[in-house]
C-alpha cells in the first residue's frame, strides 16, 4: 500500500509562475443529482480569492485545480489552432462547477497554457487549456484507494488523517486503477438509497459500462447495504459507510487527486 502518489504534481514552480494568482477561500454552490432534478445540499468548492497573494512554498505536496469561469476549450496542443479535444461548460451535466486538475503549465505563443486532466473517456484523458477561462486554487489533500486491501486513506499535507474499509468492483467490473481527481460532490435526493448520504464523483469511468447513463462514471459513495463493505461487489464504484463517506467529503476538497492502485 502506497502512502504517497506515484506521480505527484509539485506546484511549487507553478506557484512561482502564477504569483499573481489568488489562492484559497471557499464558495458555496448548489448541485443537482443526475437525472433527479432535485436541489441538493450546498457543496463546498474552493475558489480563488482576488486579494490573496502567493506565499513561500510549503514543505508538502500541493496540486493545482482549475474551476471553469467561462466555457472551456480543451485542445490537443497548447495552440489556438490545435484540434479541440472537448469543451466544458461552466457547470457539468449535474449542475456542479466544471473542474480540471492541472498537470503542467507552459508558455506558448505569448500565453499561458495549462495541461489538465479532464473527466472524460478514456480514463486519464488530458488536454491543453489557454489562460482566461479557469479560476485556480490549490489543494494539499488526496485520496489513496488500495483495492487489494479494500481500504481508502485520506491525507492532508502528507499526513494520514483517515482510513476506512470500502467495497470495490466485482470480478469483471473491477474498479479502474489510475490517477484521477474529485470532479463533483452530490447529495442524492434519497439518502437511504443505493448511493447513501453522499456521492463523491471522480474523473474515472468504468471501461465496460460506456452505455450507462453519463457514460458509466465511477464514484466514491455511501450505501444502504453496509454489510457488503469490505467485499468486491460493485460495478466499479467504491462504496463506504455513510458516516465514513461524509468524513471524507469534509476532509478532501473537490478537485483533489485520487490514486487508485492494486
Helix (DSSP H) and strand (DSSP E) numbers for the chain: 2, 19
Q: How far apart, in Å, do the first and last CA atoms of the chain sit?
A: 8
Local confidence band at 103 (pLDDT 50, 70, 90 cut-offs): very high
**Helix, strand, coil percentages for the chain (3-state, nearest 5):** 10, 40, 50
Question: Where in the sequence numbering do the catalytic residues fall?
Answer: 221, 237
Domains of the chain: 12-139 (2.30.30.40), 141-261 (2.40.440.10)
Block residue for cell numbers 496542443: 77
Q: DSSP assignment, residue 226? A: G
* pLDDT tens profile 123-168: 999 999 999 999 999 999 999 999 999 999 999 999 999 999 999 9
CA distance 54 to 143: 25
Amino acid at each position: 500500500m502506497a502512502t504517497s502518489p506515484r506521480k505527484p504534481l509539485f506546484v511549487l514552480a507553478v506557484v512561482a509562475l502564477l504569483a499573481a494568482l489568488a489562492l484559497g477561500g471557499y464558495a458555496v454552490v448548489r448541485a443537482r443529482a443526475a437525472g433527479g432534478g432535485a436541489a441538493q445540499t450546498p457543496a463546498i468548492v474552493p475558489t480563488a480569492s482576488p486579494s490573496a497573494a502567493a506565499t513561500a512554498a510549503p514543505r508538502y505536496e500541493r496540486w493545482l485545480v482549475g474551476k471553469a469561469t467561462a466555457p472551456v476549450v480543451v485542445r490537443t496542443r497548447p495552440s489556438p489552432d490545435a484540434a479541440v479535444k472537448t469543451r466544458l461548460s461552466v457547470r457539468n451535466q449535474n449542475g456542479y462547477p466544471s473542474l480540471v486538475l492541472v498537470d503542467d503549465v507552459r508558455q506558448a505563443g505569448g500565453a499561458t497554457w495549462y495541461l489538465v486532466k479532464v473527466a472524460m473517456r478514456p480514463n486519464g484523458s488530458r488536454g491543453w487549456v489557454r489562460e482566461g477561462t479557469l479560476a485556480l486554487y490549490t489543494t494539499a489533500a488526496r485520496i489513496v484507494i488500495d483495492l487489494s486491501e479494500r481500504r481508502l486513506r485520506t491525507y492532508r499535507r502528507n499526513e494520514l488523517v483517515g482510513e476506512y474499509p470500502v467495497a470495490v468492483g466485482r470480478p469483471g467490473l473491477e474498479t479502474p486503477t489510475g490517477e484521477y481527481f474529485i470532479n463533483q460532490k452530490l447529495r442524492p435526493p434519497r439518502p437511504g438509497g443505493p448511493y447513501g448520504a453522499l456521492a463523491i464523483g471522480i474523473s474515472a469511468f468504468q471501461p465496460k459500462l460506456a452505455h450507462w447513463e453519463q457514460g458509466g462514471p465511477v464514484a466514491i459513495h455511501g450505501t444502504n447495504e453496509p454489510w457488503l463493505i469490505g467485499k468486491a461487489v460493485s460495478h466499479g464504484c467504491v462504496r463506504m459507510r455513510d458516516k465514513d463517506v461524509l468524513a471524507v467529503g469534509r476532509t478532501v476538497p473537490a478537485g483533489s487527486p485520487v490514486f487508485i492502485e492494486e
